[in-house]
């Protein structure tokens, strides 16, 4: 095992190779990103000062090359911050955010660069571009307008300050939520009756979590607010007080009930103020109009109309379902006044009664190897590809790495799968891209994706079990991954 540390700048320069996640030198992160930012600015100045006729190659490609290197390095840092948050990584991200924000404000508001893009669009070379490139060019020009390229110098300064504050507040929001999730732990004795109704596999998970901390006996079970802990309690725990305790803790994360400095309400209010200011600067009535410029709907009113029409169709059925649920809770579960923490539990009991079906029973058929076999079999049939697991440096022992090959066995893409919830990892599920498919120096650069979920980890030596909702989530996120990897 080597103790060699790899500098981030060297990793970026060799981005055709696997990222040595387990041996990255975090001390190199800040200087690398600052150097890459400087390179983007240098490249941009070279483009704007050039007297050559504008073309796709000497504008779009040049800037893409410089920005891709920066994005490659920054994505490594931000990805690690989201899946294995540490004080050191958090410090690095917060130190770099102002510089990243300042760069993209400078790029988006650069009048000379904006003029080059418009000159290319209106030139003969621009008119001869294929429809895809013309579409990309038009959207980038719209992006300049939304970034404030046409604003006065004073308003540009205001918008840049809004962008910087917004990025810092968004990061703080995520940190508060993660901290408040991680800070909660409930320990129960091994002989407790409070876990009555909770499936044995979940109790074994709680026990495994306690054992990792060297706890047993009076603290034999450890329950957290991560979804693989929280949801089974809400679904299966017969103890109403336990459900209420978990529900209250989960629902009040990063709120006025949290420790000083962890309340996200002021952050939300300030972000709304900043978005309103941004919209006004750009000449829009509200931020919803700004958001829709790059989207399919034409106006906020159109979106609201669609939602209200959808609600009018869905509400009668939802109301009927709720009435049935409340009656069942009262008649069968003897809950005279069902509360929010009772509804998930009652829903699971009603489903078992009506359909002889439970998430826990179905999970036994959805072992992780079985689900992946089905998922890969489907995409191999649909797209004529092969998916193979292989070895690669990773940021956590349970992370897996896969390559995608075409029918001839040539590697065309790859992805990391980080499936299980753990402390220091942001909640939810998402796909993110590490590297994009491009032609670089006459060779095709293959794309890399991150597939991140928060499923329940395996217990003991048994494979992880996925709920039906987990399976849907995995397919959903892998769909985003395929969009990135096969485009």
Residue ranges of domains in the chain, CATH in brackets = 8-150 (1.20.1050.40), 368-486 (3.40.390.10)
Long-range CB pairs of 367-375, under 8 A, 24+ apart, other chains included: 367/463, 367/464, 367/465, 367/466, 368/419, 368/458, 368/463, 368/464, 368/465, 368/466, 369/463, 371/466, 371/471, 371/474, 375/474, 375/475, 375/478
User: From CA 155, how far away is CA 161, in angstroms rounded?
Assistant: 10
pLDDT bucket at 357, cuts 50 / 70 / 90: confident
Tokens of 323: 């009435």
What average pLDDT score do residues 162-181 get? 97
Mean pLDDT of 454-458: 94
Q: What confidence score (pLDDT) does residue 17 get?
A: 93
pLDDT of residue 2: 61
Encode pLDDT of 124-157 as tens digits: 999 999 999 999 999 999 999 999 999 999 999 9
Higher pLDDT, 169 or 487: 169
Q: 441 or 477: whose pLDDT is higher?
A: 477
**Helix (H/G/I), strand (E/B), else coil: 50:** coil
Residues designated catalytic: 477
Angle at 427 between CA 402 and CA 389, to 5 degrees: 10
The pLDDT tens digits of the residues spanning 251-269 come to 999 999 999 999 999 999 9
User: Is pLDDT of 1 > 70?
Assistant: no
Q: What is the mean pLDDT of residues 40-57?
A: 95
Q: Given a cut of 70, is residue 41 above it in pLDDT?
A: yes
Average pLDDT over every residue of 405-419: 96
User: Does the pLDDT of residue 207 top 60, yes or no?
Assistant: yes
If one counts every other C-beta atom within 10 angstroms of the C-beta of residue 126, the result is 19
């Amino acid at each position: 095992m080597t103790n060699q540390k790899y500098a981030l700048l060297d990793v970026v320069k060799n981005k055709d190779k696997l990222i040595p996640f387990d041996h990255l030198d975090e001390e190199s992160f800040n200087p690398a990103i600052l150097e890459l930012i400087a390179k983007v600015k240098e490249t941009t100045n070279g483009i704007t000062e050039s007297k050559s006729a504008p073309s796709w190659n000497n504008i779009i490609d040049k800037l893409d090359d410089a920005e891709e290197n920066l994005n490659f390095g920054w994505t490594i840092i931000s990805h690690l911050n989201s899946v294995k948050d540490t004080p050191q990584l958090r410090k690095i991200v917060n130190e770099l955010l102002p510089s990243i924000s300042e760069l993209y404000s400078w790029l988006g508001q650069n009048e000379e660069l904006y003029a080059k893009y418009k000159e290319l669009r209106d030139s003969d070379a621009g008119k001869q571009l294929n429809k895809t490139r013309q579409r990309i060019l038009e959207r980038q020009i719209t992006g300049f307008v939304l970034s404030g390229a046409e604003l006065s110098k004073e308003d540009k300064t205001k918008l840049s300050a809004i962008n910087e504050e917004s990025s810092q507040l968004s990061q703080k929001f995520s940190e508060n939520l993660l901290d408040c999730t991680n800070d909660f732990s409930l320990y129960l004795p091994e002989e407790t009756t409070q876990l009555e109704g909770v499936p044995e596999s979940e109790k074994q998970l709680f026990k495994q979590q306690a054992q990792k901390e060297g706890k047993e006996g009076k603290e034999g079970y450890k329950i957290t607010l991560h979804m693989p802990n929280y949801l089974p309690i809400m679904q299966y725990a017969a103890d109403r007080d336990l459900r209420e305790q978990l529900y209250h803790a989960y629902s009040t994360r990063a709120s006025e009930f949290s420790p000083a400095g962890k309340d996200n309400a002021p952050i939300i209010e300030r972000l709304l103020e900043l978005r309103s200011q941004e919209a006004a600067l750009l000449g829009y009535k509200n931020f919803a109009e700004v958001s829709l410029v790059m989207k399919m709907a034409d106006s906020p009113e159109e979106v609201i109309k669609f939602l209200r029409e959808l609600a009018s169709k869905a509400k009668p059925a939802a109301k009927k379902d709720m009435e049935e649920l409340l009656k069942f809770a009262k008649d069968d579960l003897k809950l005279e006044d069902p509360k929010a923490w009772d509804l998930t539990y009652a829903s699971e009991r009603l489903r078992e009664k009506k359909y002889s079906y439970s998430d826990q029973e179905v999970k036994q058929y959805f072992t992780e190897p079985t689900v992946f076999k089905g998922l890969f079999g489907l995409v191999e049939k649909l797209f004529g590809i092969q998916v193979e697991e292989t070895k690669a440096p990773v940021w956590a022992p349970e992370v897996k790495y896969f390559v995608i090959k075409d029918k001839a066995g040539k590697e065309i893409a790859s992805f990391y799968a980080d499936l299980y919830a753990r402390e220091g990892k942001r909640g939810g599920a998402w796909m993110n891209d590490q590297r994009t498919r491009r032609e670089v120096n006459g060779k095709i650069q293959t794309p890399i994706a991150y597939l991140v979920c928060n499923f329940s980890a395996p217990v003991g030596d048994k494979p992880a079990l996925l709920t039906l909702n987990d399976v849907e989530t995995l397919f959903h996120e892998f769909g985003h991954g395929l969009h990135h990897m096969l485009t």
